[in-house]
Structure 1
Amino acid sequence: MNLILFESTETDRPLPRADRRAVHIMDVLRRAPGDTFDVGLVNGPRGKATLVALGADDMELTFQWGPAPPPAAPITLVVGLTRPQTARDILRDATTLGVREIHFVRTEKSEASYAHSSLWSSGEWRRHLLTGAEQAFDTCLPDVTHDLTLAEAMAQLPSGAVRLACDNYESPGALGEVEVSREKHYVIAIGAERGWSARERDALRAQQFSLVHLGPRVLRAETAVLAAVAILRAKFGLM
């Protein structure tokens, strides 16, 4: 991890030696008492931590905070509910690329059982956001939902956002050909592993989504998410 993240409630007590962050501090960063390293407060500032003392069961840290990182790119993802391992990859990597929201939605071609995975019920999903943010040297975590239908998610999207839906079959043009403005918010909708149904394409169009494609090759859902976000970020001048 390039940045070690802490919740605001964790900074006034020792960090257990068994915690993954303590293991990283000791075994990867090889810090000793008196040494410093980069830290961040979840959805807050970045700064430096100092390893003050090392006990048998925990370590004592002090923190000095600096400015907060810039906000995430104005991108919202709407993704058809995927199998848990694919969702893990999307949660981590979309956070690394810096999106503001991720909505996993139930679609006609997604498996209903995916919504009941322990990924969601145990709260594991948030750990993948933390991993993605730590990789990116960032503190901002996207807002995430996983229990909405496509129609419910569309009803909650930011007003005035530019709406784009990736589709291999009926899209008239490429996402890379869309003109963008950094002053606008963009919503990218990507179907589950088997894509959108005909009825969902009609529903997306009815909600002012323009269908776009990512080229002639059929991509895995997690690859399509990364490609679409990377294209938009590049057009924003962020890559």
Structure 2
Amino acid sequence: MPRLYCGEPLATGAVLALAAGAARHVQVLRLQPGDTITLFDGRGGEYDARIEHMGRTEVRVQVAAHRDLECETGVAVHLALGMPANERMDWLVEKATELGVASIQPLLAERSVLRLAGERAEKKQAHWQAVAVAACEQCGRNRVPVVHPVQPLVAWVAAQGKPGFVLSLREGTQALARAAASLGEVTLLSGPEGGLAPAEEDAALARGWQAVHLGPRVLRAETAPLAALAVLTLAA
């Protein structure tokens, strides 16, 4: 059964017109009045819904029973990313959502290839949020991770009241799995291509962030945060 995200609160018995993107999805699937779909609004659980009307641009549905289903992980991981370039960030957002990330903070780091600001940054944020929604529709999640506005890395670290973990290649760091054992919420900072600049990592460590590693191999900018998510969430 198709699963679609609805941006407005849902309630059993309500009749509503689907948003343009969801309506196009229903039309592409060639669904007809009387067919059923699954809707979720990000507040928990999901709803059965029956298509009542199929127009050229409008699709109306009636919301039916609510199912209290969840597949969230036991650890809320907030991922702060020095943005990798081009389609790698899209791929990272998609896969991080599938792995259960709670939120994503795109960061402009010293070594970032992707440089975003102003209207272009806002458009990219909206695009990445849509990627996260589509990933939730596919993987069965009913809670959509928030993709925050792009921020400069050093300024973002300075504004954080509670330190987290920094993925690091420095010697003497602790394994992430051991450092974060038994935590119910984790903030994880990962660098772009080439990693964090020494000054950026030093700034985080000076504010109480803990340097951690994922093992002896050097992982790509788009691989390391996903490996960290797998360590933290798949066993939770």
TM-score computed with the length of structure 2 as normaliser: 0.81
Task: Specify every segment of 5 or more residues in structure 1 that has no aligned partner in the other structure, as ranges.
Answer: none
Deviation at 1:228, TM superposition (A): 0.6
Mapped to 2, the partners of 1:199 and 1:63 lie a distance apart of 53
The Cα of 1:80 is off from its aligned counterpart by 0.9
Partner secondary structure for residue 232 of structure 2: helix
Partner of residue 98, structure 1 = 100
State the shift of 1:54 in Å: 2.6
Between 1:42-51 and 1:68-77, the stretch displaced more is 68-77
Partner deviation per Cα, 1:84-128 (whole Å, 9 max, x = no partner):
422212222222222222111222211462446846336222211
RMSD of aligned residue pairs (Cα, Å): 3.0
Q: Which residue of 1 aligns with 2:134?
A: 131
2:36 corresponding residue in structure 1:
36
Distance 1:108 1:56, change over 3 A: closer
**Equivalence for 1:187:** 187
Q: 1:101 to 1:54 in 2, by over 3 A?
A: closer
1:4 aligns with 2:7: no
SS at match of 1:168: coil
Output the CA distance in 1 between the equivalents of 2:139 and 2:2.
7
Matches within 5 A, 1:10-159: 12-15=15-18, 19-28=20-29, 31-66=31-66, 67=68, 69=70, 73-111=75-113, 113-115=115-117, 118=120, 120-121=122-123, 123-157=126-160, 159=162
- % same residue: 26
Inter-partner Cα distance in structure 1 for 2:49 and 2:213: 45
CA–CA distance in structure 2, aligned partners of residues 125 and 234 of structure 1: 23
1:63 is paired with a residue of what secondary structure?
strand
Instruction: Provide Cα deviations, 1:102-158, integer angstroms capped at 9, x if missing partner.
Output: 111222211462446846336222211211211221232223324322233224446
Range with greater deviation from structure 2 (163-172 or 116-125): 116-125
Q: Distance in 2 between matches of 1:201 and 1:212?
A: 12
- How far the C-alpha of 1:53 sits from its partner, in A, is 2.8
Between the two proteins, the alignment pairs up a number of residues equal to 230
Choose 19-28 or 138-147, whichever is displaced more: 19-28
Amino acid at match of 2:40: G
Partner of 2:233: 233
TM superposition score normalised by structure 1: 0.80
Amino acid at match of 2:76: P
1:40-62 Cα shifts (integer Å, max 9, x gaps): 11344411110123334433211
Report deviation, 1:27: 4.5
Deviation at 1:191, TM superposition (A): 0.3
Question: Partner of 1:128: helix, strand, or coil?
Answer: helix
Structure 1 distance, partners of 2:108, 2:156, is 10
